[in-house]
Amino acid sequence: MSPSSDATTTTATTPSKHETAVVLPANLHARPAGQLARAAARFTSAIQLEYAARTVNPTGVLAVMSLGATAGSTVNVRAEGHDAEQAVTALARILATAE
């Protein structure tokens, strides 16, 4: 009797990476920073905001505000993970509509 091998293959899905740049219509103050933090916390992907050679995790309101991004400046949104595309889209929408 030969030993049988029960070969099961699992296909791991590779986390995706997404990035976009958003020109701010208004300064990045407390209200949009709070919206960004709440939105970022809903995703499992690793998310980053970058402005003026500084990078922060957007799940913290103070971290977002510490960027000091002003109206007319460009903020890059990056995410890596299984819901990266949705995360970048959601955060970019908040940035693009900041008042």
Catalytic residues: 29
Partners of 79 in beta bridges: 18, 47
Q: Could you give the CA distance from residue 6 to residue 8 in angstroms, rounded to a whole number?
A: 6
| Of 74, 63, 68, nearest in space to 27 by CA | 68
HSE-up (13 A, CA, CB side) for residue 72: 0
3-state secondary structure of 46: strand
Tokens at residue 41, please? 């916390």
